[in-house]
């Protein structure tokens, strides 16, 4: 099948807006290539089987956001919409060349597999190692290995927003914990919670592809007796209260989620909200506080933040 790769060169501050433009045009998922992100493009050449010089040369030239659209009758309108929206954004920039849209034809097989050469086993936090299913890895003492094939779903474990969630889960998951993972993508956080000993995990995603991929990954990791993956919007398909709720979604969606979150929390539950671009920390923090949550900590990695909060002491959960 023929697809069209929409590649947008942009600046870090515009990544979230550009990703949203692509989503609005109908792409199923976006790929963000930030060469300044050492976690995505590990600079330690000794740990690489393969090293792409082009990526290094790209170092100071900005961030690439890519999305894919299938051949369709309205393709031209969608590309026009993307170009116009990105050009409007570029008006704010001194150097308009910093924001450029290019379109290339690709075949499903090419783009579905191209990223795999960059994806290697990676240790995140103290215990969790994320290992692509096709790679070999020998676990060291105390390590918990997640076997993952993210396919078309978000969640390889290389993105800062995911890494901050995994580190927080390592800190808070106990053997009797119940965990809700809102926007589970590849299922990575649900599986991490299960491997860290959670008693029950529910992962939810709006995207059917993510649900399918999560279920497959849950099965590959043999945690299907603990993790239940559901298709749905935010908390609509979960009931009851969890000890930990993790949501790695963009700030705008977190702000909606926060309005009802306490109905799903106990007195000492922790809410891990990630996927927040640095500029939006205050907005999300205000929304959390306005809805009866108290900030525990704000973690930052690269351009992203994760805010950890809990119900305010003495404040009754609804």
Ligand X SMILES: C[S@@+](CC[C@H](N)C(=O)[O-])C[C@H]1O[C@@H](n2cnc3c(N)ncnc32)[C@H](O)[C@@H]1O
How far apart (Å, rounded) are the C-alpha atoms in residues 62 and 73? 32
| CA–CA dist 247, 299 (Å, integer) | 14
Nearest distance in Å: CB 146, ligand X: 11
Indicate the SS3 state at residue 298. Answer: strand
- Tell me if 201 sits within 8 A of 158, measured CB to CB: no
- On the CB side of 18, CA atoms within 13 Å amount to 28
Taking phi first (over 0 means left), then psi (-120 to 50 degrees means alpha), and beta for anything else, what does residue 26 get?
Answer: left
- Give 203's DSSP letter: E
Please tell me whether 155 is known to bind a ligand. Answer: no
**205 marked among binding-site residues:** yes
Least distance to ligand X from the beta carbon of 299, Å? 14
Any contact of residue 35 with ligand X (CB under 6 A)?
no
Cα–Cα nearest to 135, from 145, 126, 143, 144: 145
Using CA atoms, how far apart are residues 216 and 213, in angstroms rounded to an integer? Answer: 5
Nearer to ligand X, 204 or 218 (CB): 204
Q: Measured from the CB of residue 2, what is the shortest distance to ligand X in angstroms?
A: 24
**215/238 Cα distance (integer angstroms):** 17
User: In the window 267-296, what residues touch ligand X (CB under 6 A)?
Assistant: 275
> Applying CB under 6 A, does 125 fall inside the site for ligand X?
no
Q: Report the residue from 3, 41, 58, 154 that binds ligand X according to the rule CB under 6 A.
A: 154
The reply on whether position 234 binds ligand X by CB under 6 A is yes
120 or 312: CB nearest ligand X? 120
Q: Which of 63, 86, 128, 249 binds ligand X (CB under 6 A)?
A: 249
Q: Which of 183, 195, 229, 277 binds ligand X (CB under 6 A)?
A: 183
Token pair in block for residue 299: 């973690």
- Residue from 62, 121, 185, 302 binding ligand X (CB under 6 A): 185
| Of 245, 310, 308, 301, nearest in space to 277 by CA | 301
8 Å CB contact between 146 and 176: no
Query: Rule CB under 6 A: is residue 27 a binding residue for ligand X?
Result: no
Q: Which stretch binds ligand X (CB under 6 A): 39-47, 99-107, 113-121, 179-187?
A: 179-187
Question: Was 248 annotated as part of a binding site?
Answer: yes
Binder of ligand X out of 34, 160, 205, 243 (CB under 6 A): 205
Contact call for residue 19 and ligand X (CB under 6 A)? no
Using the rule CB under 6 A, which residue among 10, 85, 158, 162 binds ligand X?
A: 162
* Residue burial 276-307, b: 16+ Cβ < 10 Å; e: rest: bbeebbeebbebbeebbbeeeebbebbbbbbb
102 among annotated binding-site residues: no
Q: Is 211 in the site for ligand X (CB under 6 A)?
A: no
Contacting positions for ligand X (CB under 6 A): 153-155, 162, 165, 182-185, 188-189, 204-207, 210, 233-234, 248-249, 253, 275
- Known binding positions for S-adenosyl-L-methionine: 162, 183, 205, 248
- Known binding positions: 162, 183, 205, 248
């Amino acid at each position: 099948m023929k697809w069209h790769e929409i590649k947008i060169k942009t600046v870090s501050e515009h990544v979230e807006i550009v990703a949203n433009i692509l989503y609005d045009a109908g792409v199923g998922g976006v790929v963000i290539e930030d060469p300044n992100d050492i976690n995505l493009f590990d600079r330690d050449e000794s740990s690489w089987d393969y090293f792409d010089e082009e990526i290094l040369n790209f170092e100071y030239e900005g961030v690439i956001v890519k999305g894919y659209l299938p051949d369709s009758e309205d393709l031209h309108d969608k590309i026009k919409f993307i170009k116009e929206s990105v050009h409007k954004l570029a008006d704010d920039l001194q150097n308009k060349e910093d924001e450029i849209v290019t379109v290339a034809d690709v075949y499903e097989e090419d783009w579905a597999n191209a990223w795999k050469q960059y994806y290697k086993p990676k240790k995140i936090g103290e215990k969790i190692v994320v290992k692509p299913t096709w790679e070999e890895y020998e676990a060291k003492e105390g390590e918990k290995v997640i076997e993952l094939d993210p396919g078309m779903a978000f969640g390889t474990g290389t993105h800062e927003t995911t890494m901050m969630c995994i580190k927080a889960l390592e800190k808070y998951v106990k053997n009797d914990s119940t965990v809700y993972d809102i926007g589970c993508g590849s299922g990575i956080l649900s599986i991490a919670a299960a491997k860290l000993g959670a008693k029950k995990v529910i992962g939810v995603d709006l995207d059917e592809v993510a649900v399918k991929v999560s279920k497959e990954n849950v099965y590959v990791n043999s945690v299907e007796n603990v993790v239940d993956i559901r298709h749905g919007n935010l908390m609509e398909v979960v009931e009851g209260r969890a000890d930990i709720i993790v949501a790695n979604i963009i700030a705008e969606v977190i702000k909606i989620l926060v309005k009802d979150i306490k109905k799903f929390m106990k007195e000492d539950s922790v809410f891990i909200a990630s996927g927040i671009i640095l500029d939006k920390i205050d907005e999300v923090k205000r929304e959390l506080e306005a809805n009866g949550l108290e900030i525990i900590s704000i973690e930052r990695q690269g351009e992203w933040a994760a805010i950890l909060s809990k119900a305010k002491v003495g404040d009754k959960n609804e």
